[in-house]
Amino acid sequence: MNKTRLKNFAADVLTVLLALGVALIISVFVRPTIVNGASMENTLHDGDYLIVARQAYLNHSPERGDIVIIQSSLEYEKSDKGKLIIKRIIGLPGDKIEIIDSKLFVNNQQLQEEYIEGDVTPIGKIPPEGESIIIPEGYYYVLGDNRCNSRDSRDDKIGLVSNDDIKGKAIIRLFPFSDIRSF
């Protein structure tokens, strides 16, 4: 091999190694995700393309308002079990959640949710109307922004979400291009 071929070969190997390194970093730290369904309308829409930070909670806990990807244990249908779902964190460990007169209260304060449009009537069984629950350590209360069309913590088949089931935090919507935004 002459020197030019050797240089070209070395450059090609370096390019491949660099591409593999970038792919590895992306696959470990971020996850592209496509929204499937209407449970997060009007914040997210069916078909939106998101970038999810897989390691977002390595150094700190999820916060109220975070939009998270959850490994569902939902068992309505066999195809649903293990499915990834996207919801917003409403209740943190230690929080008291109540539904009074169809209004959502966290720690005795009515939750102000600017991201919800239209009917905000929280429906579901958890907690029952007029009763409260305290979120245990290591668990979160999550809701879809489209409260009338969301299977979430109000549903006894989903209930509270374990910290271990949170697989990442939505950090940016990349598509549609006219609606790019960070969260």
Catalytic residue among 3, 27, 39, 102: 39
Distance CA 144, CA 149 (A): 8
| pLDDT tens-place string over residues 99-137 | 887 778 999 999 888 888 766 666 667 787 778 899 999
Strand partners, 156: none
pLDDT of 151 above 80: yes
CA angle 155, 140, 111 (to 5 degrees): 85
Structural domain contains residue 183: no
- At residue 126, φ and ψ (nearest 5 deg) are -120, 115
Which residues share a beta bridge with 50?
A: 33, 173
23 to 55, 83, 121, 167, 175: CA distances (angstroms): 16, 24, 43, 19, 21
Closest CA to 68 of 95, 28, 39, 98: 39
pTM: 0.79
Domain at 172, CATH number: 2.10.109.10
74-108 tens-digit pLDDT? 554 555 555 788 999 999 999 999 888 777 899 99
Q: Using CA of residue 78, residue 82, residue 84, residue 86, what is the dihedral sign? A: positive
Q: Which domain holds residue 94?
A: 31-176
Q: What pLDDT sits at residue 80?
A: 53
Residue 91 is predicted with a pLDDT of 95
* Average pLDDT over all residues of the chain: 82
Determine, yes or no, domain membership for 181.
no
User: Positive or negative, the Cα torsion across 147, 152, 153, 155?
Assistant: positive
Which residue do the tokens 């390019």 mark?
Answer: 15
- Residues 171/68, Cβ–Cβ less than 8 Å: no
Active site residue 87: yes
Omega within 30 of 0 (cis) for the link into 176: yes
- Judge whether 3 lies within some domain: no
161, 98 contact by CB (below 8 A)? no
102 catalytic? Reply is: no
* Inside any domain, residue 133: yes
SS3 state at 141: strand
Number of domains in the chain: 1
pLDDT above 60: residue 40: yes
pLDDT value, residue 102: 72
Domain membership flag for residue 115: yes
In the set 72, 87, 150, 169, the catalytic residue is 87
Q: If you average pLDDT over each of 3-12, 114-123, 127-136, 173-182, which comes out highest?
A: 127-136
Q: Please tell me the chain's helix, strand, coil percentages from 3-state DSSP, rounded to the nearest 5.
A: 20, 30, 50
Question: Could you give the percent of the chain with pLDDT greater than 90?
Answer: 30
